[in-house]
Structure 1
Amino acid sequence: MWRTSSILFQVNILFAFAFTSFLAVSLFYIKIQLDSESVMRYNTTVKIVGKMRRFNASIEDIRSYLEEQGFYEIIPNEEFKKKILESNQGPSSDSLHVDIVQEHNDIFIVLRTIRHFIVYQDHVDFVWTKYYTMIILGLIILVLVYIALINRLMPLTYIKQELANMKQNLQKITYATNSQDEIGDLVREFNYIVEKLHSIEKSRTLFLRSIMHELKTPITKGKIIVEMLNDSKQQQRLHNIFERLNNLIDELAKIEELASKNYQVHKKEILLVNIINEVKKMLLVNKSAQNNIIIHCNNDLIKADFDLFTLAVKNLIDNGIKYSVDSQVIIDTTKNDLIIKNKGKPLALDINEYFKPYFKDIKNPLSQGFGLGIYIIKNALEAQNLNVIYQHENGYNLFIIQNCIVESFYDSPKFITL
């Protein structure tokens, strides 16, 4: 089904309008020509008959002349006779009275004496052939122009289909590449852009792989060296640091997949406690800290992509602990929303500013800033068609992930020590 904004739809509408208009104008022109020819024949007949009357031509002479001019005698019906007799005064004595009557496009000549009532009708037929020929030729030209125009525009439809098919994978358009018109130029320019995008994609992939390799290699070596340490406390601390760095690299790789639309989202139902347990493994916090996370909804069921949702919650909890005045984060729910909140001052700027990558609060140069944290949260949730909003109520900063909970179970507050 064509959209009303489609070029082909508009061309069809214009053609239908032009076709109808041409046909209507042609028929109107034929009617005018028909009336005009009838008037000319009527005037000519009146002049000739009037001239014959002036020379006192007999009724037989007039009949002979009319027959020579293509008139033929008809037998009038009573209604026609009555109409003539009522509209015109009859002949006196034996004189000849001539009436010329026009009905529609027919001309009748009535010859009357006291003894005769003779009616002749014009035998000349209107020549329709030449007008029909002109109309048919005009319509054929219109149709040929329409077909030619549609043929020139049809490549746009095929190009649109190929563009729709190449959403998942960049590939060249093969249709109309040999055409030398503007559409062919458009296809060639588009294919050039596709080649450039392929080159950029290859360069980006190579660069990221190189960076990942160069970063993970020293991390792996560091882990090996850490295992050689005798101090178990120092060994665990360094091990956590290297593990944290490794997780950060994996997060960046995941965000790159999201940004390039290469990540396949797999949503399923997950217990919140499983997400929190995974977050505990990913976070690097001071073990001496107690009661870092207060959770009111341990058994709530969430429908989301496990990796992406865990990544978003991890960053929210990490930022919540980092910027809380009491180093605590509270996890709660309301209806279908998950709430992660901490006690602290409200954000200095609009939340949309913090959604930008590598954000730094210029009003507070000493702050650590959110860096990629909030940006990662926003993109990880949007990839799952989820949304996060920010509010500040009663001294608490609330980050609310909307419509992620499919079933809620009440739990008494639990404290998780990290």
Structure 2
Amino acid sequence: MFNHFSSLRSKIKLVFSITLLLLAILFIGSIKYDYAKYDELNEARERAISHYLYHYYLKTGKIDEAYLESQNVSLIKDKAKVIQIERYFKEKGKYKKYAVDTFRLQRIILINNDRFKLFLENKNRPKYPLKRIAVFTIVFLLIILLYFWVIRSLRPLSELKNKIKTFSEGNLNIQCASDKHDEIAEVANEFDHAVNMIRELLQSRQLFLRAIMHELKTPIAKGRLMSEMLPDEKSKQRMHSIFERLNLLIDEFAKIEKITSKNFKLKLKPYKMSDLVEASIDLLMVENPGRLVSIEIKKDYIVKSDFELFTLVVKNLLDNALKYSTDKHVIVVIDSDHLDIINKGEALKEPLEEYFKPFHTSKGGLGLGLYIVKSILDIHKMTLAYRYEEGKNIFTVR
């Protein structure tokens, strides 16, 4: 229940609802108090009329009808009506020396003493509380207008929340500056300033990285040309492979830069896991990959992924597995809905989550490898798990 009123808007609604409820209770209570006060005065007036008529009759031997008229009270003379009223009072057990009751929406006074018996109709009615209703209506409308005014002043907060959500999804092209002078406008302006600063920092970072990658491509291209001039074919192939590897690494860094800056759109298509693994092994650019990586297909399956990014994930996992394997051999197992990458070696010294941090610096750490893997798997809504069994490290992509 309390969670339902956790938002500021809900709390404001609750406060105004309670205020309106208390106002309604106060209005109804004041009306009832007025009616109770009127009934008390009316009953006292009726008893005073009864006493006056009795004393006047003792003096003059007749009823002072002029006085009754001045008090807005009339003497009921219709015999048939008198009989009906008398029967009504007897049925209700109110046929006494003095009684008051309502008969057919008329307030009837019975005076039955040793001198006379009268049925009087009291025509006085409580006044309609127009002034009170007018005051309460004005207050009610003011509270309603105040409520809408407060809710409207919170509208920029909802817009700011949506812009913050858009910003968190990677869209840096947002404007949330406000020309108002309230606290929400101050928050919006500070956030807009922060967005501009972050945008400028990211742009300078991207420019710096792209400039470095661009500058690196020139010497790599020259190196490839120079390697073509080597007389020894084996040395030429080796140098060519090295420069191809460097070129591929720069392309990977470009992809990583886009992923980490949230400036990347996935191109999801269905692929066989076995095809993705084969493509990942090709990215390793090693001679005779069959002696380094063994593939065991228990049950192949289709996975919807971005081909370039997912192969980069598997390639990084294979790279790390080979690097830290004691026998320089990795086994890849494809089974139904997951992919296992297995190597012999020492167990990880820390929980897997620690290696997801960029530039992890523990002894034998995995550098940027698992950070890149985690970033790509996150945008694919996939998970990476780790376990150590019988001297083997097992990384599972699920």
1:171 aligned residue (163, 170, 173): 173
- Whole-angstrom distance in 1 between the partners of 2:147 and 2:253: 55
Residue 101 of structure 1 is matched in structure 2 by 100
Deviation of residue 171 (structure 1)? 3.1
Deviation of residue 384 (structure 1)? 0.8
Deviation of residue 309 (structure 1)? 1.2
What aligned pairs does 1:286-365 form with structure 2 within 5 A after superposition? 287=287, 291-297=291-297, 300-303=300-303, 304-362=305-363
Deviation of residue 332 (structure 1)? 1.0
Query: Structure 2: which amino acid aligns with 1:332?
Result: V
User: 1:80 and 1:263, CA in 2 relative to 1: closer, same or farther beyond 3 A?
Assistant: same
Deviation of residue 15 (structure 1)? 3.2
CA contact (8 A) 2:322 2:330 kept: yes
Residue 67 of structure 1 is matched in structure 2 by 69
TM-score (norm 2): 0.85
Deviation of residue 84 (structure 1)? 4.6
Query: Structure 1: which amino acid aligns with 2:100?
Result: V
CA contact (8 A) 1:342 1:396 kept: yes
Q: Which runs of 5+ in 2 are unaligned?
A: none
- Identical-pair percentage: 31
Deviation of residue 313 (structure 1)? 0.9
Indicate yes or no: 2:268 matched with 1:281.
Answer: no
User: 1:200 and 1:89, CA in 2 relative to 1: closer, same or farther beyond 3 A?
Assistant: closer
User: 1:187 and 1:106, CA in 2 relative to 1: closer, same or farther beyond 3 A?
Assistant: farther
1:371 aligned residue (367, 370, 388): 367
Query: Structure 2: which amino acid aligns with 1:60?
Result: K
Residue 386 of structure 1 is matched in structure 2 by 382
Query: Structure 1: which amino acid aligns with 2:118?
Result: I
Deviation of residue 26 (structure 1)? 1.0
User: 1:84 and 1:102, CA in 2 relative to 1: closer, same or farther beyond 3 A?
Assistant: closer
Residue 217 of structure 1 is matched in structure 2 by 218
Q: Which runs of 5+ in 1 are unaligned?
A: 91-98, 403-418
- Whole-angstrom distance in 2 between the partners of 1:111 and 1:259: 98
Residue 80 of structure 1 is matched in structure 2 by 85
- 1:193-234 superposed Cα distances (whole Å, 9 cap, x missing partner): 222122112211211112212322222222222122112222
Residue 22 of structure 1 is matched in structure 2 by 23
CA contact (8 A) 1:328 1:342 kept: yes
Deviation of residue 162 (structure 1)? 4.4
Match of 1:268, SS state, is strand
Query: Structure 2: which amino acid aligns with 1:396?
Result: K
- 1:87-118 superposed Cα distances (whole Å, 9 cap, x missing partner): 4556xxxxxxxx25255997543344689643
CA contact (8 A) 1:340 1:399 kept: yes
User: 1:106 and 1:185, CA in 2 relative to 1: closer, same or farther beyond 3 A?
Assistant: farther
Deviation of residue 34 (structure 1)? 0.4
Match of 1:386, SS state, is coil
Deviation of residue 13 (structure 1)? 4.3
Match of 1:297, SS state, is strand
TM-score (norm 1): 0.81
Residue 33 of structure 1 is matched in structure 2 by 34
RMSD over equivalenced CA pairs, Å: 3.0
Deviation of residue 57 (structure 1)? 4.2
- Whole-angstrom distance in 1 between the partners of 2:355 and 2:392: 17
- Whole-angstrom distance in 1 between the partners of 2:11 and 2:232: 79
Query: Structure 2: which amino acid aligns with 1:8?
Result: R
Residue 197 of structure 1 is matched in structure 2 by 198
Deviation of residue 83 (structure 1)? 5.5
- 1:119-176 superposed Cα distances (whole Å, 9 cap, x missing partner): 222222211122322332222222222222222223323334444555453234367x
Deviation of residue 185 (structure 1)? 2.0
Deviation of residue 48 (structure 1)? 5.1
CA contact (8 A) 1:159 1:173 kept: no
Q: Which has the higher helix share?
A: 2
- Whole-angstrom distance in 1 between the partners of 2:249 and 2:59: 121
User: 1:160 and 1:322, CA in 2 relative to 1: closer, same or farther beyond 3 A?
Assistant: closer
Q: Which moved more, 1:322-331 or 1:43-52?
A: 43-52
Match of 1:60, SS state, is coil
- For these two proteins, the number of residue pairs brought into alignment is 385
